[in-house]
Amino acid sequence: MSDLSGKPDYRGPATLTFESPPAEFEVQIDLRGHSQPIDGVFRWYGRVRPHEALQGFMEAAGSSRKGRLSTDSGDVPVLVSDVDLWGRYRLQGTGMPPYPLEPDVDPDGEAETAATSSPQTRALDRAAALLEPEFRADADTTDGYVELLGGTPAPSPTTASKAMNNPLVASIYEKLWRPAGVAMMGVGGLSMSAERAKAVADLRLSGAMSVLDVASGPGNFTKYLSDQLSGDGIALGFDISEQMIRRAVRDNRGPHAAYMRGDAQSLPFANNTFDAVCCYAALYLMPNPLTVVDELIRVLRPGGRIAIMTSYGRSAAPVKSILGAVSGHIGIRMFDKNQFTSIFETHGMTEIEQEVRGLAQFVSATNAR
Ligand X SMILES: C[S@@+](CC[C@H](N)C(=O)[O-])C[C@H]1O[C@@H](n2cnc3c(N)ncnc32)[C@H](O)[C@@H]1O
The Cα 158–Cα 333 span in angstroms is 11
Q: Which is nearer to ligand X, 44 or 259 (CB)?
A: 259
The Cα 177–Cα 68 span in angstroms is 53
User: Which three-class secondary structure state does DSSP give residue 211?
Assistant: strand
The Cα 120–Cα 103 span in angstroms is 18
| Angstrom distances, CA of residue 39 to CA of 34, 36, 92, 350 | 12, 6, 17, 38
Q: Region of 220 please: left (phi>0), alpha (psi -120 to 50) or beta.
A: alpha
DSSP result, 222-262: HHHHHTT--TT-EEEEEES-HHHHHHHHHHS-BTTEEEEE-
Q: Which is nearer to ligand X, 14 or 192 (CB)?
A: 192
The H-or-E segment that residue 275 falls in is: strand 274-280
Minimal CB distance to ligand X: which residue? Answer: 217
174 contacts: CB under 8 Å, gap ≥ 6: 217, 218, 220, 251
Q: Which is nearer to ligand X, 265 or 327 (CB)?
A: 265
CB atoms within 10 A of CB 293: 25
Residue 343's closest CA among 276, 277, 297? 297
CB atoms within 10 A of CB 180: 10
Q: What's the closest the beta carbon of residue 248 comes to ligand X, in angstroms? A: 9
Q: What's the closest the beta carbon of residue 200 comes to ligand X, in angstroms? A: 13
Q: Which is nearer to ligand X, 265 or 341 (CB)?
A: 265
Q: Which is nearer to ligand X, 91 or 283 (CB)?
A: 283
| Angstrom distances, CA of residue 305 to CA of 28, 68, 130, 205, 268 | 45, 47, 18, 9, 19
Q: Which is nearer to ligand X, 42 or 335 (CB)?
A: 335
Q: What's the closest the beta carbon of residue 135 comes to ligand X, in angstroms? A: 15
Q: What's the closest the beta carbon of residue 203 comes to ligand X, in angstroms? A: 13
Q: Which is nearer to ligand X, 83 or 264 (CB)?
A: 264
Q: What's the closest the beta carbon of residue 170 comes to ligand X, in angstroms? A: 8
Q: What's the closest the beta carbon of residue 278 comes to ligand X, in angstroms? A: 8
181 contacts: CB under 8 Å, gap ≥ 6: 281
Q: Which is nearer to ligand X, 7 or 162 (CB)?
A: 162
Q: Which is nearer to ligand X, 177 or 344 (CB)?
A: 177
Q: What's the closest the beta carbon of residue 225 comes to ligand X, in angstroms? A: 10
Q: What's the closest the beta carbon of residue 245 comes to ligand X, in angstroms? A: 8
> Which ranges of the chain does DSSP label H, i.e. alpha helix?
52-61, 119-129, 133-136, 159-164, 167-172, 178-185, 192-203, 222-226, 242-251, 289-298, 317-330, 339-346
- Footprint of ligand X (CB under 6 A): 164, 178, 215-217, 220-221, 239-241, 244, 263-265, 280-282, 285-286
The amino acid at 74: G
Q: What's the closest the beta carbon of residue 64 comes to ligand X, in angstroms? A: 30
